[in-house]
Structure 1
Amino acid sequence: MTSVQGTAVDIPTEDGLADAYLTHPGDGLPRPGVLLYQDAFGLRPHLRSMADRLAAAGYTVLVPNVFYRHGRTPVFDLPEFIDPGTRPEIWQQISPVMQALTPELAMRDAGAYLRWLADSPLVADGPVAVTGYCMGARLTLRTAGAYPERVAAAAGFHGGQLATDAPDSPHLAAGHITAELYFGHADNDPSLPAEQRERLEEALTAAGVRHHCEVYPDAPHGFTQADTASYQKEGDERHWAALLDLLERTF
């Protein structure tokens, strides 16, 4: 396993400084860049370990605190093991912060994250990959559509609300996407019912986007997050295989 070096960085945005975690192989050579979008629980030790695993596979990985407008990490006071079923008040903290991150603000920030990666001597020249989890899967899809010249591959896992009937639904970006996409959907996920999965598939197919979407059987929403009650080992291992395969094909 390649040794990695992780550090905290600050990214200038149009609205302030976003704190972030940057990790890369220890040799310091430029590697393909990966922008990793958090789930709703935010930048925390588990996401840093996920980023480190990607870095060990040969990538320079940036994990921004997308909630930076509400404070530096940790934005929320979370237990080491997150089980919203026993602590439903967690969502009372998180939901307003999530809703405040409008698509417009999120994509303005995405431009700052992508510029930072482009300017970093630790990132190889050329486009990057984006991956995201839960709400981060929505941000991934939007980023691939908003910055097609910068995003060569994009993956999302247990994403919710990817293809709603709202006028700003993430799937409506399909016509602008040039990246190859992969989505691993949670089987038992009320935030992405079958009709949304079908709508996403139809939109990507109609736009000619190279993509592969699949449903992970018996997987709950949040199945990749080992510090939560939603974790499913089988789905998590399958997600790692799919993500690394996409990155290897792209870079």
Structure 2
Amino acid sequence: MAPQADLREPGAREAFFASGVLDRVAALTPDRSGPDAEAWVRALEEHAGDGPIGVTGYCMGARLAVRTGGQLPGTVAAVGGFHGGGLVTDAADSPHLAIAASTAEYAFGHADQDRSMPLEQVEALEQALQAAGRPHLNEVYAGAAHGYTMADTSMYDEAAAERHFAVLQGLLARAL
């Protein structure tokens, strides 16, 4: 799913998305990603020992991180999601619904110029976090575009990327 071209070049971004990458992303349903999450956590525990872990995701990875937090309560203590899209949907397996089963602390940094996570979805995510009683930050980064942490793209926003690093470090320090 990784781009093979520099997405800052004219037409490269459009070509990347026309390649079917979004179909592959949509196919990563909980029944497909859940067993992988369990296997990764088992492998991590074999090497690092038992104990709370943190998971973080960017873009579609934020959905996977949120689902993993709900899938492995008591193990996942921190969930970070940055410029994540599709965290709230009308589907029965919407990622935000996993928050209710989790025991994690959450930190989200949304881009205010992100069509994949509009402000009404950010608010619905906030409601889910509050309803679950989970400690959290659920912030919108003004002026940031989807992909703001990716220094090798035209979406990169240094101020938003640095803010996200500070938020993520704080989350991990508190939760782990």
Displacement of 1:190 in angstroms is 0.6
CA–CA distance in structure 2, aligned partners of residues 186 and 196 of structure 1: 12
Q: For residue 221 of structure 1, what is the aligned residue in structure 2?
A: 146
For structure 1, the residue ranges without an aligned partner over 5 or more in a row are 1-40, 43-75
Displacement of 1:124 in angstroms is 4.5
Q: For residue 239 of structure 1, what is the aligned residue in structure 2?
A: 164
Q: For residue 41 of structure 2, what is the aligned residue in structure 1?
A: 114
Note the alpha carbon deviations across 1:72-105, whole angstroms, 9 max, x for none.
xxxx5x12x3238622121122122212222211
Confirm or deny: 8 A CA contact 2:87 2:121 kept in the other structure.
yes
CA–CA distance in structure 2, aligned partners of residues 165 and 186 of structure 1: 21
Structure 1 counterpart of 2:105, from 157, 177, 180: 180
Q: For residue 96 of structure 1, what is the aligned residue in structure 2?
A: 23
Higher strand share: 1
Q: For residue 9 of structure 1, what is the aligned residue in structure 2?
A: none
Confirm or deny: 8 A CA contact 1:84 1:90 kept in the other structure.
no
Residue aligned with 1:237, SS = helix
The residue type equivalent to 1:175 in the other structure is: A
Structure 2 counterpart of 1:140, from 65, 70, 73: 65
> Relative contact order (C-alpha < 8 Å, sep 6+): which is higher?
2
Structure 2 counterpart of 1:130, from 50, 55, 74: 55
CA–CA distance in structure 1, aligned partners of residues 159 and 102 of structure 2: 30
Paired residue total: 174
Q: CA RMSD in A?
A: 1.4
Q: For residue 45 of structure 1, what is the aligned residue in structure 2?
A: none
For structure 2, the residue ranges without an aligned partner over 5 or more in a row are none
Percent same amino acid among aligned pairs?
49
Q: For residue 89 of structure 2, what is the aligned residue in structure 1?
A: 164
**Which residues of 2 match residues 22-37 of structure 1 at below 5 A?**
none
Confirm or deny: 8 A CA contact 1:131 1:140 kept in the other structure.
yes
Question: Which of the pair has more CA radius of gyration?
Answer: 1
Displacement of 1:108 in angstroms is 1.2
The structure-2 alpha-carbon separation of the partners of 1:85 and 1:101, relative to structure 1 and needing over 3 Å to count, comes to farther
**Which residues of 2 match residues 195-206 of structure 1 at below 5 A?**
195-206=120-131
Q: For residue 105 of structure 1, what is the aligned residue in structure 2?
A: 32
The TM-score, its normalising length taken from structure 1, stands at 0.66
Note the alpha carbon deviations across 1:188-214, whole angstroms, 9 max, x for none.
111011111111100110111111100
Residue aligned with 2:149, SS = coil
